[in-house]
Amino acid sequence: MYASLSPEAIKWGLPPYDRARIERWTSNPTNSIILIARLEETVVGHLQVFQFPFDRRKGVAELFIYIHQDFQNAGLGTAMMMRAIELAKDQGLHRFGLTVVADNHRAIKVYEKVGFKKEGTARDTFYGDDERYHDEVQMGITL
Ligand SMILES: CC(C)(COP(=O)(O)OP(=O)(O)OC[C@H]1O[C@@H](n2cnc3c(N)ncnc32)[C@H](O)[C@@H]1OP(=O)(O)O)[C@@H](O)C(=O)NCCC(=O)NCCS
């Protein structure tokens, strides 16, 4: 899936999304929740939760989500986020946090829809394809 993402789909991401990186994410499921959406044998969505391995971050996790461009805007991202929240609650996790580029309006809409709140803004932290700096928003949800 990552190999076929369009430039638009990764516009607000942090490439490269090469095989070595994806394998590093997905090969060690300890402290992770990994959700895959498939259409038959084709992966069309990936959501991953990383739990911090420190006692002082007990139950605190970060997440990211990618939906293939041909499957965006059809409710899949929202459904995967809701499922991740459900699984995390079952596992007794305490909080999800994430960082999103302030201009990624669709992602922010989805995060707010499932209960995330904006917690703060880091200014000029993301250097975009447009060769300009963009703000990033910290968002979180207490589970
Ligand atoms: C962001 C992403 C995960 C959302 O998943 P999705 O399956 O496309 O989203 P959904 O279809 O569940 O929901 C999209 C919502 O955003 C709304 N939306 C779409 N474009 C929008 C825009 N430009 N501004 C505001 N809202 C927008 C839709 O109307 C919908 O809300 P609604 O259900 O209330 O009508 C997905 O589009 C994606 O992977 N994008 C590229 C990678 C990315 O940006 N990942 C996040 C990195 S932090």
Give the per-residue pLDDT at 67: 98
d(CA 43, CA 45): 6
* Residue from 39, 80, 109, 134 whose mutation best tests the ligand 1 pocket (most atoms within 8 A of CB): 109
Burial 108-143 (b: 16+ CB within 10 A, else e): bebbeebebeeeeeeeeebeeeeeeebebbebbbeb
Task: Write down the H helix ranges in the chain.
Answer: 19-26, 76-90, 105-113
Residues 45 and 66: beta-carbon distance below 8 Å: yes
User: In this structure, are residues 100 and 137 in contact, taking their beta carbons and an 8 Å threshold?
Assistant: yes
Q: Whole-prediction pTM value?
A: 0.97
Per-position pLDDT tens, the chain of length 143: 999 999 999 999 999 999 999 999 999 888 999 999 999 999 999 999 999 999 999 999 999 999 999 999 999 999 999 999 999 999 999 999 999 999 999 999 999 999 999 999 999 999 999 999 999 999 999 99
Distance (angstroms) between ligand 1 centre and the Cα of 26 equals 23
CATH for 2-142 (3.40.50.970, 3.30.428.10, 3.40.630.30, 3.20.20.70): 3.40.630.30
Angle at Cα 65 formed by Cα 141 and Cα 94, nearest 5°? 25
Q: What one-letter code names the amino acid at 111? A: Y
Ligand 1 atom with least separation from CA of 68: 39
